[in-house]
Amino acid sequence: MIYLDYNASTPLDPQVRDAMLPWLGEHYGNPSSAHAAGRPLRRAVDDARRQLAAMLGAEPDEIVFTSGGTEANNHVIKGVAHALRDRGKHIIISAVEHPAVSNPCHYLEQLGYEITVVPVDAHGLVDPQTIAGEVRGTTILISVMHANNEVGTIQNIAEIAAIAREGEVLMHTDAAQSCGKIPTDVSELGVDFLSVAGHKLYAPPGIGALYIRRGIQIEPLHHGAGHEGGRRAGTEPVANIVALGTAADLAIDRLDEADRLRSLRDNLFDLLRAALGDDVVLLGHPEHRLPNTLAVGFRDCYGADVLARCPELCASTGAACHAGAQSHSDVLTAMNVPPDVSCGMVRLSVGSPTTDSEIEAAAQMLIAAVTQLHEGTRVKR
């Protein structure tokens, strides 16, 4: 098996696993308990909060642990909508947001909120000035993802956040894909909220976090007891929180391997391009994209058919294009990628364990698959 789907989920880092183990058996108290069984768990949660804050350039009390990136996004969007509903009901998002952002916004539309979806260019990049032109007196939140999960394009969050501040609008970024791959310092980005997903940076599924800038009050998504400073009810899953804190520590060091991941990514594309020429199309921004992410469109192919001929290769498609039922990626549609390319989209994302030999083997598999498909019946343009 060759795993090139690190944007979907990462394996549990051995150091993260080892850090979790004591909190799965040896320590079993409630971190909210003041007695001897609870105090070690409270310290573990506090330590993890400091670790995650260090990765984000934040203060520990600005970190709220969640069940993942989806909960963090829902918390921001619904929490701001409820807290500021008397000021306005207008929210701005981009056309390439993850469903964990776009779908909560569509839900709010049913409740009378107005959602403006700003377009992107052919590389999936948002023009900050387009957002500036949409800000109005009733705008309460701008949410633009830091890096796209499908094509890897990195948005100019700092410039968008500056526009938000000028308009006295709160700013959120979904950083599920960028944490651990590129710097995510909240002061440099200038955001009020930032979402983290643990399983994207070598922690387990089921844990994430939300950065909330100090002084901002929004409605909790979960109501109950006063956990997480009253911002997220529910007894903290200490083992998972320790895992996320450890992963955040490792992520700081992992930023140093960006050049190696970029080299693997680019070598993979070079091998594909050398063999397939114009039949392979680079998707996403050629420069401003995640160092580990290669999204390509195999012209006149179905991405699912390509991967079906590569059973040892783990990768993702951006569309489900099959005879009788063609469903194109919303991201590629927003980028105006032509159907003969978008149907053949395959996302290949590398990670820390990826080797040069795996890249070479994956390239040969993909080249053979596309060549076989082209020797048969090509998809009509």
Annotated catalytic residues are 321
Q: Which residues contact 188 (CB under 8 A, 6 or more apart)?
A: 57, 158
Q: In the chain, how many H helices and how many E strands?
A: 14, 15
Distance between CA atoms of 106 and 315, rounded to whole angstroms? 29
**CA quadruple 177, 139, 188, 158: dihedral sign:** positive
* 200 closest CA partner among 177, 226, 230, 217: 177
Which residues are within 8 A (CB) of 114 and not within 5 positions of it... i.e. 6 or more apart?
A: 89, 90, 91, 138
How far, in Å, CA of 246 to CA of 47, rounded?
9
Tokens of 278: 């114009």
- Kindly report the CA angle at 226 between 221 and 227, in degrees rounded to 5? 75
The first and second tokens of residue 87, run together, are: 């000021």
- CB 80 within 8 Å of CB 218: yes
Alpha helices by DSSP H, the chain: 14-20, 39-56, 69-83, 99-109, 128-134, 157-166, 186-189, 227-230, 238-254, 258-276, 303-308, 330-334, 339-342, 356-375
Give the pairing type, strands 280-283 and 193-197: unpaired
Contacts of 334 (CB under 8 A, 6+ apart): 95, 96, 119, 120, 124
Strands 293-298 and 280-283: antiparallel
What is the C-alpha to C-alpha distance for residues 337 and 283, in angstroms, rounded to an integer? 8
Q: Strand pairing of 316-317 and 345-349?
A: antiparallel
Separation of alpha carbons 282 and 273, rounded Å: 9
